[in-house]
Amino acid sequence: MQTQTNKPYLIEFPSIGASEIGYISVSEAQKNIPFDIERVYWTYYTPESIVRGRHAHHRTEQVLVSVMGRIIVNLEGPDSSEIITFVLDRPNVGVYIPAHYWHTMQYSHIAVQLVLASAHYDESDYIRDYQEFKSIS
């Protein structure tokens, strides 16, 4: 599966089950995830006053899912014409973030964020300085 767009979009994962027995949602590379998954990580116990992220990637694509709680995701694209906000508050919905999007996240106190990434960790892939991001956008 090729990335359908170079813009962020919501992905709704299948939700299988019922309220009396619980649910399961599934994500699969090249099916509902538009890249091969090379890294999985999660964040938790993040104080509500903390804004995480504050970077972009040269190459890495990501899908963020709030498996618990609420996460507000703000994205700024390479053309910097607008900031797009997504509110993740259901465990069967994620947001696709292409490379070259500056992103920040703010969490409710119980939020657990799952991240599926297209690449292994590589510090040289990160754009951590906002002015540098603006200059290459």
Q: Catalytic residues, which ones?
A: 55
Select from 77, 61, 54, 59 the least CA-distant residue to 137.
77
Contacts of 87 (CB under 8 A, 6+ apart): 70, 71, 72, 73
Residue 8 in tokens: 């962020």
Exposed, middle or buried, 17 (CB in 10 Å: 0-12/13-18/19+)?
exposed
C-alpha span between 19 and 67 (Å, rounded): 17
Q: List phi, psi (to 5°) of 8.
A: -65, 150
Indicate the residue type of 2. Answer: Q
